[in-house]
Structure 1
Amino acid sequence: MPKLKSPFTLLPSAPPPGSSHYISNAVIIAKRVALGLEAPLRIKDLPWEPGNPFYDWYRWHSSALLVRIQLRKEQKAPFFHEYIAFELDDKRYFRIDRRQLPNEESPMDCTSEKGVEAYDTIEEITSLDDSMYNPSDCLVEVYFTTSPSPCLGLILDACSAISHDKRARVYTVQRYNCYFYAQTILLCICTADNLRVYRTSLNLWDTWTEIRPDLQPYFPSVHVLVEKPKYSYQDGLPVHADPPTRASYFSIRWPWRKTSRDENGGHRPREMQEANLKEIKTYLLAMIRTHSLRAEQYKFILGCSAEGVERDITEKMNYIWDRHSARSGIGFGLNHFVSNAIENMNYLPGL
């Protein structure tokens, strides 16, 4: 019987999942120098003290406050890299990425359970939609409108909590990849700020619902195309009124933003629409579930099930939030894990 090939071998011109070849590209490096941008800084599991480059970077920017933060997805196939971009009140912009090492000797080991060493970085960019590496789309945009705005330390605490975790600090294509890294940071920031302002949402996944199966089609690539859910409300819980389609691209802001395909196949921004933390979590859970089902399609390579991948990702996000809240001085732990909620979950009417 012929040996099954990795799906990545079908893409001879594609880099390995999570590769960092762009960040070490000489032309890009020269362009960054010409623009006077700070060099990319690696986020590592080191003591939080002077001499740690990440600590020193934070001390340099410690007085800065967050204005907005975005979850962005690159348009380049086949992996559609996700990352965090944020704006500070001094009008400077940065992005946070998870990739593999630029010189990783065994890049395809990322398909194994043990994974490869993650290469997490923070770097200055010219704007939130900077396309120096690849063009990207905004999935979630959070504006911080309350005073005072949250400090930069909220983001750094989330990054540090991930880098301290022995599993989450390793890059694996099925679990702890760029999607996990960026989405975890976003959830921690949103939940922490919601708690700071409203004294609510003590748990990362305290309000969420089962997502209808229409949101998990087996797409021919990792890119998730989802139509903006149309919500009606029963007892305060969101219910999908119409099934989503694959025809439009989904983008959220705090409030949500939706973009759709125009007649020429490009992205056409649409009017901003309000959404709450519950709806953002529901949307991100749909993204996690879609990725999990996609990973299961290649279980002969990745050795995983959709249920296992989703459980591991959401439970690890919970654990990171617990660590993040402690480091940030929020002081609240999780009262329950997502796995318990999964066991008791039922479809809502209309789903």
Structure 2
Amino acid sequence: MGDTLKKSNNVEKFDIILVGYGIAARCLLREFAKSDYFSKKKILVVYNDDVFPPCSLNTTSIVCRSGVQKGISDLGDFIFDSYEEAISFYESHPECHEQGLQHSLTDQSPKGREDFIRRFGHCDSLNTLGDLSLSESFEGVSFKAYFIDPSKCLSALEQAYIEKLDVTIKKLTCREVLKKEGHLQLDCGCESFVTNKVIIASGAYSKFFQNNLKQESLTKSKFVSGSYIVFDDCDFGNKSFVLANRHYNLIYRRRSRQIMIGGSTVKEDLLCASVSELKSQYNFFRDLLKGDLVLPAFESGTIKTGLRHKGQKRRPFFGELEKGPFGNIYSMTGLYKNGFTFPFLGAKAISKLIQE
């Protein structure tokens, strides 16, 4: 079985089929465009944002290394290396982001404060948010953060490959990846396609393929819902900032003049928001700031939710799921809270595997 498949009278054949068209898929295509190997490959992308709303466009999209260092754990190494890889892209595309500080607050309990210092090595007195002075200081640490504009990021990634690769993009729902003798068949209901290389890069929805792809990275992964409330037309100064309290944040985006409040929620497998939980987070930040930053009424905000994909022990998976006489199945999954950094590293890994 060769890399390039011949035409069939029944179904259209492609060299590579990519399932999904969010940041993971676009990072893969951007990486493919760097290599002559893929320049003559016929590539199909199938996705359906109406059926599977992309997390790429339903997230607060903050990139911050938060003091993570190399050499402590394999997950820390993933986070560090992918951050460096992603930042090289963002720095060369200033239209995709703005910069500011993320202020991570200490836990108020004695043990929480002790654990915080053990993790970060110190804590400081925080008396400003962006260019706003606070009447009462807080304890915590501050880190450089990138405030990614998801739509502009996806567009910039697309520009890197759209003229360099032979890519067909179809808005279809992939129902199943079927393993046939000598090939793989993608069942999209009204249409089917044949290939010998499939890459699944569909975020949390990758779990839907686990019934016929028995691989630990899928079977031991899970959905995690992330909800946040957005307030428009807010003016809290000329500097963007994040105020982080454990698993949820208050974010001010200067460029779009938005306040966002939210984070991971208790409904781990539902694409719906816990309004009471968001209201609790809203009240926490409102009370914490004590009038220094007056939030709009909760009822005036718009609530958004995205499903993230959490891998086993928070580890991402970039690699080959299965190999056989039908061909090769690859996947980029488990991006979880690092959806705007992990794909840049994962794309390199999968591109290298395909070319071996």
For the superposition of Structure 1 and Structure 2, which TM-score range results when normalised by the shorter chain?
under 0.3
When you count strand as a share of all residues, which structure comes out higher? 2
Q: TM-score, normalised by structure 2?
A: 0.21
Q: Which has the higher contact order (CA 8 A, sep 6+)?
A: 2
Q: TM-score, normalised by structure 1?
A: 0.21
Select the structure of larger CA radius of gyration.
2
